[in-house]
Amino acid sequence: MIKYLIWDLDGTLFDTYPAFTDAFLEALNDFQYSADPEWVLSLTKVNFSHCASVLASHFHLTEEEVENAFWRHYLAMPLETQVLMPGAKDLCEYIVGLGGMNVIVTHRDRPSTIDLLGTHGVEALFADFIAGDDGYPMKPDPGGVEVIIERNRIDKEQALLVGDRDMDIEAGLASGVRTCLFGLRGGPSSADYLVDDLNKLRDMIREENRL
pLDDT in tens, the chain (211 residues): 999 999 999 999 999 999 999 999 999 999 999 999 999 999 998 888 899 999 999 999 999 999 999 999 999 999 999 999 999 999 999 999 999 999 999 999 999 999 999 999 999 999 999 999 999 999 999 999 999 999 999 999 999 999 999 999 999 999 999 999 998 665 567 999 999 999 999 999 999 998 6
Domain residue ranges in the chain: 4-15+82-210, 17-80
Residue 145, C-beta contacts closer than 8 angstroms, at least 6 positions apart = 6, 105, 139, 161, 171, 172, 174, 175, 177
Q: Are 132 and 106 contacting, i.e. CB atoms less than 8 angstroms apart?
A: yes
Rounded Cα distance, 169 and 182, in Å: 10
Q: What is the DSSP letter of 172?
A: H
Sheet holding 4-7, edge to edge: 128-130, 101-105, 4-7, 159-163, 178-182, 193-195
**CATH assignment of 4-15+82-210?**
3.40.50.1000
pTM for the structure as a whole: 0.93
Q: Are 62 and 56 contacting, i.e. CB atoms less than 8 angstroms apart?
A: yes
Which architecture does CATH list for 17-80? Orthogonal Bundle (1.10)
